[in-house]
Amino acid sequence: MNDTLAGWLQILALVAALALCHRPLGDYVAHCLTTTRHLRAERLVYRTGGVDGDAEQTWPAYMRSLLAFSAVSVLFLYAFLRLQNHLLLSLGMKPVAPDLAFNTATSFVTNTNWQAYSGESAMGHLVQMAGLAVQNFVSAAVGIAVVAALIRGFTRKRTHHIGNFWVDLTRIVLRVLLPVAFVFALVLVAAGVIQNFHGAQALTTVAGDHQSITGGPVASQEAIKELGTNGGGFYSANSAHPFENPTGFTDLVEIFLLLVIPFALPRTFGTMVRDRRQGYAVVAVMALIWAASVTVVTINELHSVSSPAGHAAGGMMEGKEQRFGIWSSALFAVSTTLTSCGAVNAAHDSFTPGGGGLLIFNMMLGEIAPGGTGSGLYGILVVAVIAVFVAGLMVGRTPEYLGKKLGSREIKFASLYILSTPAIVLVGAGIAMSLPGEQKAMTNSGPHGFSEVLYAFTSAANNNGSAFAGLQANTVWYNTALGLAMVFGRFLPMVFVLALSGALARQRPVPVTAGTLPTHRPQFVGLLAGVILIVVGLTYFPALALGPLAEGLH
Amino acid sequence: MADSLPRHQPHRVSGGLLDPRQLLASFPDAVRKLDPRLMVRNPVMFVVEVGALLTTLSALKDPGVFPWVIAAWLWLTTVFANLSEAVAEGRGKAQAETLRRARTHTTARRLTDWRPGAEAPPEEEVAAAELQLGDHVVVEAGQIIPGDGDVVEGVASVDESAITGESAPVIRESGGDRSAVTGGTKVLSDRIVVKITSKPGETFIDRMIALVEGAARQKTPNEIALNILLASLTIVFMIAVITLQPFAIYAKAEQSIVILVALVVALIPTTIGALLSAIGIAGMDRLVQRNVLAMSGRAVEAAGDVNTLLLDKTGTITLGNRQAAEFLPVQGVEADELADAAQLSSLADETPEGRSVVVLAKWRHALRARGEGELEGAEFVPFTAQTRMSGVDVDGRSIRKGAAGAVTGWVTDRGGRPGDEVHDITERISQSGGTPLVVAVDDADGARVLGVIHLKDVVKEGIRERFDELRRMGIKTVMITGDNPLTAKAIAEEAGVDDFLAEATPEDKMALIKREQAGGKLVAMTGDGTNDAPALAQADVGVAMNTGTSAAKEAGNMVDLDSNPTKLIEIVEIGKQLLITRGALTTFSIANDVAKYFAIIPAMFAVAHPGLDRLNIMKLHSPTSAISSAIIFNALIIVALIPLALRGVRYRPSSAAALLSRNIWLYGLGGLVLPFVGIKLIDLAVQFVPGLH
């Protein structure tokens, strides 16, 4: 089987699997978010936490719960990392330095999983399992909780209540993430991913070198790493490491896992707003951008070859795993940068300027095609609010989306959302580039060096977590700056989404008439995709011009 | 007869034309508005003004052709934005001047002790400005009415041209729905006593002046929302440009303050930012041009959102009177014979119904209407309330026409037998909502019924198409009528309204409005009577007729000076047009940015990264000419779009999806392509300016 056929088969299998799961998974999540019945395990959780599972929260209360939970999570994880040498299964690892511990704690709590450390040489098993992996579950659940609250803003009428954060969080973890991750951990184990508690094993390679390889509970972490669009690898090499991702099959499973929830949530949305067509329109926009990006990056990596060695390899093989090849590396890279996952099976730094530039652009889109678990859907819905506002004016009515009017309150919060992430990215990268001392962290010069810094802040603020490699980011300044970028990039938008939800829930819905802008037709799909590309393109064009464009255009 | 009328023509909401002289005349106002305290209310243009100041300072410090060109055009951009607002306001000011002239300082003849029916009560002379609520004044022919009020005694013809522009006098009388008079209008004949209903300084004319001048103008909810979005975009672009400098320094391509300011101004949505307030003022102005006064911009916007229109049947949907539609002869009688008899019997009937019978006979049966004098010895029998029929006796024939019961009784009295058929026909007509008039004759063959004239409400021409359009726009129409449900249903079907409210009382109307609103719908209605006032106040858009009572005018949020209820449809269209204009220009403004990037980015960085010159797809002459061209285009497009902002974009009633497609193609794609052409053309010219090469 040649590479092209294998590549196509992989894409087809992936799309088929995602399409198959779209309806049942989407409807199941909708059921979990709307049912009034609690499981026994959930009641136990509520009782332990002193939460009334039947109480509803206003948006400020929902926000306070969410922020408090996340703050405690950061503190807990920080302590964990600082004290790991006193704990079981530490494998003799030293305490993590304060700045790196802050960076890592915020990174995992914000669902970013930016890693300024090497897992195998810095983290013991207990930290990996009880610290990092727990956040992999709950940070993903927090994202879905926020989108649940936003959808309720659309579906509810004349109320101040948008759900209960604790209930949403508990249900998503217990009913959705845990069972699915458990099943796929077994699948991964069966396919060759390791799962043990071994420490470092010394061995001699064929060439006669000595190597020390750490074992660990990898498969269990690998499943939720992808499923929760977290992306923090057990090993530094992430999904390029043979213990995390040994074969083409596991590679496909991992790509599937990181896409499956984000692509199913629009169905949840359609089901909850009782108009499935609305969900299809949203998923169509996501799929359109994803497919276009896969196409462009794959073509770029296959054909932008300058060296004879490249021709022999059939494309840009630098930085890509031989067992995955161009097709699968491009597919993985696009999927991980469009989902806020950030797991990698190749070095993004080594992609062609065009391909690598598009990976940055993918993240700049705001992680909405399909985006992170929950965050992708709320991100695209906020852009939809802006698109509907402008388009709605053009049909001669006060714009309304799903029966809710988009007045100054709604537009204020949506605008703040759209504003916040680019501001963090550009201001962060701007400060980094004006500090001569911090420029030492760049291992490359010229536009490529700048691309690395831009990539780092784009990745952090958009909660992606993948890196362009070249940047030596484990410095006090970068750990702190990127940590702050992750915190603000995660929670500022969330606050605005919850505020938007509150503003929407207060309204009485407007009936749909022939004069209402239809938001389920191909027309709207095209409009929304256009607004996303133009708004993002205009915001980042100057910065991209000095990075990937300057590098790529000769 | 809708089927015989000329086909309905697509119409267009249009505003007044823009006179180029208005631009010049408004120029001083535009410069005055450069005051930063005024500019700060418009965040987008305030940024441009600050940018103009920065570039000017930079040009003073570091003189050169390029910085001065940029500084000059940035100031012009700001002035052009103010110009659009000044022109829009200027039109209102002219109108206000006319109104002020009407508000002469009259003296009032106040009646100190007026009671209904009082003969010659004592009166005193006071200044009109001293009149208080509830005062009674007397006004006689040739005098100006000193304040707004209701006529409580007498009837007079009044010249209201000062307000409506209509020179034909109108009748105002006490009681009923034509009692309201407006201060500043002139009594032409007779004498009336008016009860003052407005406080001094708050009269209708005072409010009109404030409205058309824009003094009372407040930003509408939708305008505020759009402003927030524009401000956010401005902030995003400012951040993008400010943070660009450290990146540029790293790339060894540090940029001057002039270029950075130029980039910011090119990117922020100046086109819509400049025209936004003019669009709002012009929307109100378009209503004023149609003689409709909106009490707030909010009401105009609400008009665009209306889901349900309540329309009075008479005057809006049907012509005022019933008309003969058909002659239905009984068996054995020729239609021509019936038509002839019907026409003869109606020759002396001067009611609209009677004349319509003559016209129908002439038109359908080619029977020329004979003059009364042409018929030798004809004796006309006029209609009386007792006989309930009219007719003519001529050439030994007696013809009678009238209500079914009366005419069949007349036939029976004369020995004829009307037969069941007549009953069947009249019953059928009644059920279809019409009114039957039976025609009978008594001649040598004896007394007998010839047939029945079908009188019906005539639906206005083109109204059905109008309602079809409204339906496509997603607006439901409800006909309000005092008729019985049967008649109402028939007319509703013929006119094509979606729903009707028969035997409507003011309470029914109110209940209907509340029901619609409970479902989240916005309701618009017209009204004139005092008993309409609560419903007018409850409706989201309440258009009071100027002929109506002051209570109605007070309750509504718009007043139609022409008192034409059909105008409600136009008002809705103007409301929609206002929003569409805003959306279209916003789209246009943002789409413009793409071309500006392709002009400015290569100009900034092609020296440091020669590869970026490939982005210079317009092949602009030089970096300075490219940046200057983008800024000049940015300024000129504002002036070019002022007429569009004032007139509003073309609006044809159609579905939301069709409207959106059209506007995206026109303003989205147009906005993408046009600046490429425009900037290239300007570049071809400015490259010859010494210092820009």
CB contact under 8 A, A426 and B471: no
The pLDDT, as a whole number, for residue A292 is 96
Measured distance CA(B603)–CA(B93) in Å, rounded: 45
The pLDDT, as a whole number, for residue B104 is 59
Answer yes or no: are the C-beta atoms of B617 and B687 closer than 8 Å: no
CATH 3.40.1110.10 spans which residues of chain B?
320-454
Option in B241, B474, B591 nearest A513 (CB): B474
CB contact under 8 A, B611 and A521: no
Non-local (6+) Cβ contacts of A84 within 8 A are A90, A93, A95, A96, A123, A124, A126, A127
**Which percentage of chain B shows pLDDT scores above 70?**
94
Non-local (6+) Cβ contacts of A486 within 8 A are A106, A107, A110, A112, A114, A460, A461, A463
Chain A partners of B240 at a C-beta cutoff of 8 Å? 422, 426, 539-543
Which sign, positive or negative, has the C-alpha torsion B120, B125, B127, B133?
negative
Quick: pLDDT tens for B131-161: 888 889 999 888 888 888 888 888 888 888 7
Put simply, whether A434 touches B (Cβ < 8 Å) is yes
Distance from CA of B54 to the nearest CA of A (A): 22
Q: A203 vs A244, which has greater pLDDT?
A: A244
User: Residue B179 pLDDT more than 50?
Assistant: yes
Quick: pLDDT tens for B11-45: 333 444 566 777 788 888 889 889 998 898 899 99
Measured distance CA(A344)–CA(A225) in Å, rounded: 11
**Which percentage of chain B shows pLDDT scores above 90?**
33
Would strands B499-501 and B476-480 be described as parallel, antiparallel, or unpaired?
parallel
Residue of A nearest to B574 (CA): A396
The pLDDT, as a whole number, for residue A133 is 92
Answer yes or no: are the C-beta atoms of B400 and B389 closer than 8 Å: yes
Domain ranges across chain A:
377-553
Chain A partners of B232 at a C-beta cutoff of 8 Å? 415-416, 418-419
Residue B40: name the closest of B200, B273, B244 by CA: B273
Question: How confident is the model over B440-464, as a mean pLDDT?
Answer: 86
Q: B393 vs A261, which has greater pLDDT?
A: A261
**How many C-beta atoms lie closer than 10 Å to residue A40's C-beta?**
7
The separation between the first and the last C-alpha atoms of chain A, rounded to the nearest angstrom, is 36
The tokens for A543 are 């910065």
Q: Annotate B543-566 with b (16+ C-beta within 10 A) or e (fewer).
A: bbbbbbbbbbbbbbbbbbbbbbbb
Quick: pLDDT tens for B40-76: 889 999 999 999 999 999 999 999 999 999 999 999 9
The pLDDT, as a whole number, for residue B216 is 60
The tokens for B141 are 């022919």
Answer yes or no: are the C-beta atoms of A500 and A382 closer than 8 Å: yes
CB contact under 8 A, A398 and B244: no
∠ at Cα B261 (B257, B267), nearest 5°?
150
CB contact under 8 A, A419 and B236: yes
Question: How confident is the model over A459-473, as a mean pLDDT?
Answer: 88
The separation between the first and the last C-alpha atoms of chain B, rounded to the nearest angstrom, is 71
Beta-carbon contacts below 8 Å between A and B: 208
Put simply, whether A394 touches B (Cβ < 8 Å) is yes
Residues in chain B: 693
Beta-bridged to residue B544, according to DSSP, are B527, B559
Lowest mean pLDDT segment, chosen from A375-384, B263-272, B322-331: B322-331
Option in B235, B594, B609 nearest A419 (CB): B235
Averaged pLDDT score across all residues of chain B: 85
C-alpha distance from residue A275 to each of A265, A266, A500, B387 (Å): 14, 11, 21, 65
**DSSP letter string, B177-202:** T--EE-TT-EEEESEEEEEE-S-TT-
User: Residue B7 pLDDT more than 60?
Assistant: no
Averaged pLDDT score across all residues of chain A: 92
The pLDDT, as a whole number, for residue B265 is 97
Chain A partners of B229 at a C-beta cutoff of 8 Å? 386, 389-390, 411, 415
Q: A365 vs B204, which has greater pLDDT?
A: A365
SS3 state at B645: helix
Q: B403 vs B625, which has greater pLDDT?
A: B625
Quick: pLDDT tens for A180-228: 999 999 999 999 999 988 878 888 888 888 888 888 899 999 999 999 9
Put simply, whether A545 touches B (Cβ < 8 Å) is yes
User: Residue A100 pLDDT more than 50?
Assistant: yes
Measured distance CA(A107)–CA(A117) in Å, rounded: 12
Residue A223: name the closest of A197, A269, A261, A263 by CA: A261
The pLDDT, as a whole number, for residue A1 is 63
- Helix H or strand E encompassing B476: strand B476-480
Domain B320-454, CATH among 1.10.530.10, 3.40.50.720, 3.40.1110.10, 3.30.1460.30: 3.40.1110.10
User: Residue A315 pLDDT more than 80?
Assistant: no
Residue numbers of B annotated as active site: 312
The pLDDT, as a whole number, for residue B11 is 38
Quick: pLDDT tens for A319-349: 888 888 899 999 999 999 999 898 999 988 8
Measured distance CA(B342)–CA(B399) in Å, rounded: 8
Measured distance CA(B477)–CA(B496) in Å, rounded: 9
CA dihedral A52, A501, A516, B593 (to 10 degrees): -160
Put simply, whether A445 touches B (Cβ < 8 Å) is no
Put simply, whether A60 touches B (Cβ < 8 Å) is no
Answer yes or no: are the C-beta atoms of A539 and B597 closer than 8 Å: no
Measured distance CA(B687)–CA(B628) in Å, rounded: 10
Put simply, whether A179 touches B (Cβ < 8 Å) is no
∠ at Cα B593 (B587, B594), nearest 5°?
105
The tokens for B179 are 């009692």
Q: How confident is residue B641, by pLDDT bands cut at 50, 70 and 90?
A: very high
CA B182 to chain centre: 22
CB contact under 8 A, B660 and A509: no
C-alpha distance from residue B116 to each of B119, B126, B150, B151, B172 (Å): 9, 22, 14, 12, 17
Q: Where are the beta strands (DSSP E) in A416-495?
A: none
User: Residue B463 pLDDT more than 50?
Assistant: yes
Quick: pLDDT tens for A152-162: 999 999 999 99
Is residue B389 a known part of a binding site? yes
Non-local (6+) Cβ contacts of B291 within 8 A are B164, B165, B560, B561, B562
Quick: pLDDT tens for B75-93: 999 999 999 988 888 877 7
The pLDDT, as a whole number, for residue B9 is 36
Put simply, whether A502 touches B (Cβ < 8 Å) is no
**How many C-beta atoms lie closer than 10 Å to residue B283's C-beta?**
28
Chain A partners of B244 at a C-beta cutoff of 8 Å? 542-543, 546
The pLDDT, as a whole number, for residue B272 is 95
Most B CBs within 10 A among A277, A382, A394, hence the mutation to make, goes to: A394
The pLDDT, as a whole number, for residue B632 is 97
Would strands B389-394 and B379-381 be described as parallel, antiparallel, or unpaired?
antiparallel
CB contact under 8 A, B225 and A552: no
Would strands B523-527 and B499-501 be described as parallel, antiparallel, or unpaired?
unpaired
Tell me the CATH number for domain B292-317+460-561. 3.40.50.1000
Chain A partners of B666 at a C-beta cutoff of 8 Å? none
User: Residue B426 pLDDT more than 50?
Assistant: yes
Answer yes or no: are the C-beta atoms of A84 and A76 closer than 8 Å: no
Chain A partners of B661 at a C-beta cutoff of 8 Å? 523
Question: How confident is the model over A235-246, as a mean pLDDT?
Answer: 91
Question: How confident is the model over B549-559, as a mean pLDDT?
Answer: 83
SS3 state at B469: helix
The pLDDT, as a whole number, for residue B5 is 32
Chain B partners of A518 at a C-beta cutoff of 8 Å? 656-657
CB contact under 8 A, A534 and B594: yes
Option in A398, A410, A422 nearest B305 (CB): A398
Is residue B411 classed exposed, middle or buried when 0-12, 13-18 and 19+ CB atoms within 10 A define those classes?
buried
CB contact under 8 A, A418 and B236: yes
CB contact under 8 A, A539 and B236: yes
C-alpha distance from residue A309 to each of A301, A305, A328, A345, A392 (Å): 14, 9, 20, 21, 54
The pLDDT, as a whole number, for residue A141 is 97
**Which percentage of chain A shows pLDDT scores above 70?**
97
The pLDDT, as a whole number, for residue A450 is 92
The pLDDT, as a whole number, for residue A398 is 87
Helices A218-227 and A248-272 cross at an angle (nearest 10°) of 40
Residue of B nearest to A553 (CA): B611
CB contact under 8 A, B474 and A521: no
Measured distance CA(A180)–CA(A24) in Å, rounded: 13
SS3 state at A73: helix
C-alpha distance from residue B589 to each of B80, B262, B634 (Å): 15, 16, 9
Measured distance CA(A389)–CA(A383) in Å, rounded: 10
User: Residue B3 pLDDT more than 90?
Assistant: no
Amino acid at the residue A427: V
Q: What is the DSSP letter of A158?
A: S
Question: How confident is the model over B320-341, as a mean pLDDT?
Answer: 86
Answer yes or no: are the C-beta atoms of A69 and A49 closer than 8 Å: no
**DSSP letter string, A9-41:** HHHHHHHHHHHHHHHHHHHHHHHHHH--PPPHH
* CATH topology classification for B107-146+148-197: 2.70.150
The pTM assigned to this predicted structure is 0.87
The tokens for A528 are 């929304």
